[in-house]
Amino acid sequence: MIRIAFFDTKPYDRQAFEAQLAENPFAKGIKASFFEPRLDRTTASMAKGHDAVCIFVNDVADKDTIDVLVALGVKLIALRCAGYNNVDFKYAHGRIALCRVPAYSPYAVAEHAMAMLLCLNRNLHHAYVRVREFNFTLTGLTGFDLHGKTAGIVGMGKIGRAFASICQGFGMDVVAYDAYPSPMDGVKFLSLGEVLSKADVLSLHCPLTKDTHHMINKKTISSMKKGAVLINTSRGGLVDSIALLGALKTGRLGGAALDVYEEETGLFYEDQSYRIVQDDIIARLISLPNVLVTSHQAFLTKEALSNIAGTTIDNIASYFDNGELKNGVAG
């Protein structure tokens, strides 16, 4: 019997994983415990008696947490997401195995990025509220045609390429930057500086690393087109939130659509409506009329949840059945 402790689980997580545990032939002999708290050094003790832990983007597997897990006999950390910037993977090397879900549905994230752009550009979030109050005026709701505009994409993995295809469908010109570019029809690969200077819409689809942390900052924003729109559905730490706020307030940027935020841990995925949010930056961003924020939901489609659960179960079963570390994270 393989026992897995799932942390930071929500109803949609549990539903998807329980379906996999019931139907996936690789799930035989796996028993799951679902915990609502996020994993960190203070909650890691909940994994006692389990062989593996399964975590998400806002769980914290730092040095102290890993030490607790190892002491409890936990042998595997299975991330049910693609990114692993919340894990001290170098410290984990040789102590505990790590695996992830490198791809679940690039279309889910890419489509959400375009949905946010359309909503922000055409002011649908404002129009919805007005009409609910029987205010049918159009003043202040003017957007711009996407057709003929330039979409700049940073990161041309599966999600970036899916977003590029969507943009092409709208008749947009697409320029892109990727550290390891792979040609795509209709996409012109340029330097990062050139992409920033040409983009009417800039969309981020790259991982968070020490090299990409705050890649969108005061200096890089100053090189962007005045009035450009920024979309971030990747990781919050790619953007210097203070610099972004300043650029939005002055009109240097025309708008921002954010599904992620660099200080989202402890904030996103929870009901904060009855509390006074102490983070002044996110509170100010949300208050701006040219900002649209969603709470890291770009991945949230039925297909993506099913794929995440299936790949995670396969990763865990392979490791414990035959020692194969599928989709492993190297130290």
Q: Which residues are catalytic?
A: 235, 264, 296
Instruction: Phi first, then psi: give them for residue 280, nearest 5 degrees.
Output: -70, -25
Among candidates 208, 118, 119, which has minimal Cα distance to 155? 208
CA distance 44 to 64: 9
CA distance 291 to 278: 19
Sole residue written with tokens 């947490």: 65
> Do residues 171 and 148 touch, judged by C-beta distance below 8 A?
yes
Instruction: Phi first, then psi: give them for residue 84, nearest 5 degrees.
Output: -140, 30
CA trace torsion 163, 166, 168, 170 (10° rounding): -130
Residue 265, classed as helix, strand or coil, is: coil
Specify the DSSP element, H or E, that contains 15: helix 11-23
> Do residues 236 and 264 touch, judged by C-beta distance below 8 A?
yes
Contacts for 183-190: CB closer than 8 Å, 24+ residues apart? 184/156, 187/153, 187/156, 189/156
CA distance 84 to 328: 11
Distance of CA 311 to the CA centre of its chain: 18
